[in-house]
Amino acid sequence: MLSKNVTLDFDLLIIGGGPIGLACAIEAKKAGLSYLILEKGTLVNSLYNYPVNMTFFSTSERLEIGGLPFPSINPKPTRAEALEYYRRAALQYQLNIKLFEPVETVSKQAETFVVTSTRASYTSRYIVVATGFYDVPNYIDVPGEKLEKVYHYYKDPHFFTMQKVAVIGASNSSVDVALETFRKGAEVTMIIRGDTIGKSVKYWVRPDIENRIKEGSITAYFNSEITEIREREIDIITPEGPLTIENDFVLAMTGYLPNFDFLNNIGIECTVDENRIPIYSNSMETNIKNLYLAGVVCGGMNTHTLFIENSRIHAVKIIEDIMSKVKK
């Protein structure tokens, strides 16, 4: 392990080893820049933490990075296929990446950034923050939310076999969780703020959840909210009035947020409205000179607007801008 007294220098330091962080590193390597990726968890950590049975909305070619083909036997690739693809991409390009090394601080001294991780210190002329939005759950802020029976992350449906499960939300993740746990023998209740299943739910999944609700296999309370969670029951407010039902587990699939504290500590400015969108130029440069954002972190609270398929271009934009500066 390196000492924090040892400082290593790079042209570019990339914070976040997800698909877009890898894409930035690939473009940097092609351009001849020295670079390093620092990732707090495993490779493509957010994808690793997705549900084990997850299927992407995008087709495989729209998830490709670095010009590497992404073959898939499915019309829509699975989590397992994506993990294998991005692992092979990292190996193919022999990317310089340090895993399980969280960044603690980022500061700037004249034209140089100083990045301190849990293991070492680094200097770099340029920084890319590609930290995604899977760090912080969007808490529902009701009494009992911190009980062990409440989950904001979901992996596998078998754990909830023969249990009374409440699923909060009507997005893709909520619908997937409701259907998967139902098919493993859970008694599923959905609690939905709106009056319908989310408009963005995958088109091949929507008929399934709507039919399960219609036939009564899954109970759904629309225009409703959970108001309190207790060990063996939950309280709901519905259009017909308050309701208490038996419950073993609450799966709060209410989304996730970027780590705004981390962005604020660096000094990245965001809009002052409820969207809290980081401010950046067309080249992805923030209010801090030579510090860039890439990937879904750029969406602020609007995490549904950016995906791998429409943020891969960020890597190209960033490296083109850096090279234009290097050549001056």
Last residue of a domain, one of 252, 284, 304: 252
What are the tens digits of pLDDT across the range 177-235? Answer: 999 999 999 999 999 999 999 988 988 899 999 999 999 999 999 999 999 999 999 99
What are the tens digits of pLDDT across the range 43-97? Answer: 999 999 888 888 888 899 999 999 999 999 888 999 999 999 999 999 999 999 9
Last residue of a domain, one of 196, 223, 252: 252
Total domains present in the chain: 2
- Within a domain: residue 2? no
Residues 124, 268 within the same domain: yes
What are the tens digits of pLDDT across the range 107-137? Answer: 999 999 999 999 999 999 999 999 988 778 8
Residues 230, 309 within the same domain: no
Residues 49, 186 within the same domain: no
Q: Spell out the residues 6+ positions from residue 232 whose beta carbon is closer than 8 angstroms to its own.
A: 246, 247, 248
- Within a domain: residue 283? yes
pTM of the shown model: 0.87
CA distance 154 to 177: 8
Token reading at 164: 């009374």
pLDDT above 90 (res 31): yes
Residues 81, 31 within the same domain: yes
Last residue of a domain, one of 252, 270, 294: 252
Mean pLDDT, residues 26-35? 97
Instruction: Find the domain containing 120 and state its range.
Output: 7-136+256-326
Mean pLDDT, residues 266-283? 94
Nearest by Cα to 46 from 117, 137, 128:
137
Residue carrying the six token digits 């699939």: 253
Q: What is the pLDDT of residue 54?
A: 87
Q: CB-hemisphere CA count at 13 Å for 16?
A: 28
Pair 175, 201: CB distance under 8 Å: yes
- Within a domain: residue 51? yes
Residues 72, 182 within the same domain: no
CATH number for the domain including 145? 3.50.50.60
Average pLDDT over all residues of the chain: 93
pLDDT above 50 (res 1): no
Pair 44, 86: CB distance under 8 Å: yes
